[in-house]
Structure 1
Amino acid sequence: YIEQDLGVPVSLSEENREMIRTCNFVLKQIMPYYDRYTAPYFQGIDYDVVEHGMPGGATSSSQEGALKQGYIHLLPYMLKFLAGTRKIVRYHDVTPGSQITWNTAFLAVTGAYKAGGERAVRDMLEVLKIVTETPEKELSPAVREDRLLLYSNCNDAFRDLLLGKYGRLPLGFPPDWVYESAFGPDYRQAIARRTEVSPLLSLGDTDLAAEEQALQHHLDRTPTDEEFIMYLNHPADALKTIAFKAKYGDPNRLPLDVWFEGLEPGQELMFEDSLGKPHHMAILDISQPDSRGISIVRYVLDSEILSHQVQVAEARGRVDSRVELADPKNPYHVAAPCNGDLWVMHVSPNDFVKAGEELFNISVMKQEKAVLASVDGVVKRVLKTADFAEDKKMVPVKEGELLVELTPVMRACPTCREPLADENYKFCPVCGQKV
């Protein structure tokens, strides 16, 4: 189509085209087997899509995320927020737009719910309805003030969208009050930083040699071509997949139904390993989960009886005492705002931070959420740390979990005025002045 109908030349030989046709034909025969396992999590007709405008795939995965986060009961409110916000901030709901749209609604609704329950959510949606249906000149001062709460819980991705970091919004940037809601008192500086230049113009080529060296460092061996290509596309998932295969073997040797559904006790499995050697396996017994949530699986592999412990449920009877919760009334306690994955920690003990400075960042449903210091202080403790850029690993965190503890600044250097992290310091670590 591109070459014949549009007249744009493509770098495909006739041999390559035939290979693509053959691959496509093979995939058409395989895909029906996967339909049972890869169908959308939520299915069915949703007439409200004409209002909220979410694409089918994004809707399904987003609703699954809300279910896992424990907020599925707020889904009708989230869809109403989507219907309203797309009239204010207008752009095409394709990647990454659809994910940004959903997270903006999710964070707004759950933020209001945490602050004042469903009453607060309904009040917020009423404000959103008035803003989208009433001309600007007819809005009351109270509504103009209340609408600033609509995007106060948004994440970095939404702010980057407003700044034009994903490219120029095709239908124009939103009104200034949206920036005031998302950025707070510094919204004028945010508007000044806004750009319409495509980020693709400044995107440099990937240093393949450096990436291959980084992968070799992670694996402590030379990667295969397939592993390297997988790493370039999805670095974190590639490392997990490689580690999984190193521990358990190649899962592609299992039949598709066994991979997705497992084996029932008494069911036998014949398979070949990566070297072509045949094996026989049968499940003997799967015990009920104990108080730790662990089941013991007894099985036969090539005439040898083995057992393996599998974590199938959460432990019962007590809460994990290793998780320290933050005191919500203590401004020096900085907690995880929601369940997610900590992917970068910016501070270390004895660092001085100012109010509004980013301390760490959490990934929530594929989107980043920065957590800022609410007061000036010195970092006393960092309970969990992560550096995804370095090791491609994220650390799970729970809502309310204490991640950073600050302490007030007790002393400052009389010469350079820099804070002293420890009251026992005899000399300023910055300028050397005796204190």
Structure 2
Amino acid sequence: MDPFDVIGNLHNIKPVFQPVIGAIDHDVIGYEVLGRIQDEDRWKSLGPFFQDEDVPEEFKEEVDQHLLKLAMDEMLEMEKDGMLFINRNASQLLVNDGEALLETLLLYDQKGFHLNRVVIEVTEHDFDEDFETLGHLLLYYKTYGIQVAVDHVGAKSSNIDRIRQLEPHILKIDSGIIRKHNGDEFQDVMFSLSMLAHRIGAALLFENIEDDFQLYFAWKNGSRYYQGYYLAYPSFDLVEKESLAVDLSEKVKRYVHRQRTLIEERLLFVRQWEEKVKGLLVKWEGPKKADTFIAEVTDLFDEESFRMFVCNGEGQQVSANFRKRDSEWQMEPHKKGSNWAFRPYFLENVMRMKAWNTGLLSDLYSDIETKEMVRTFSFPLTDTHFLFIDLRYAYLYNHECLLQ
């Protein structure tokens, strides 16, 4: 795409709007602005023009400004509320210290398009450039109420600290990477991003959603906004809820039903395990005979578990490890005396078991020894001693509710 043909034909350029849908009311909450140029009787994407590194940034800025003005004019004319997402790379923003963009936005603020409706999207890749200057500029924009979104979050984990400094309003995640990573690996990435978003008060937006699985994944992982061809293609019209390709409310009803079913099944497992242990409590004779007690427990959890032990309320292990190898349970006496209170949530979970007198099932985590994803079922034997049963991955894998 010849950049001079683009610059010389601004009258043949129009914005298209891709809807962004909210998870709360399942309605269109805004639009991302993209560009199209007319070539005879066809409208072609301006993506290649903006992605071409040989095109001067001043050219890109001029075209983007043209598209922005047309988009805001149309939203004002149609009396459309909601946010307007605009893409800018670092080089474009730093042209003339970002003043041209700000002047345009301030002008339209006077016309009634308030600045808090504008979301400037920058990609995480932009942080590899002059982050200090870019960061200061974006923070300056934020003082006017302009929102900031970081696109392609997670592409480079080394930028987490910079994202924390910037504290954007929105983190955009490309749904395409769901299929490029194995499940466990991407779940780790999602956990980190969810925690980051929670800490800095940012909303998650999953983009490029192309099928039901990706939409379900986004919903299940706390995405506040959704975007992609599965919901709506970019359009010259400002698409409303009724014109979306899917009924999001109906989809979410199905997702809720599915999650409720999985949770109920998981809770049933926990209750069954509790009953198993309760049936053996009469054989608990104190920490000095903890190994004898666990030998009884292994028979009841032979299918589910690969390791179990007993700790006191201070985190100290009072039993040997009972470890299953080649279908046989073996004792590891050298583990007695180990202290596990340093583990995250250990003491909190012990206090919960003591207060509620009930068993607990941990979240999924990677076992240091086996490197597999496991869960731990724990149960209070008394107010001062607690049984820990590590569940093997092969068992979890065969029961979907235990992998959620």
TM bucket, shorter chain: under 0.3
Structure having greater relative contact order (Cα 8 Å, sep ≥ 6): 2
Q: TM-score, normalised by structure 1?
A: 0.24
| The structure with more helix, counted as a fraction of residues | 2
Higher strand share: 2
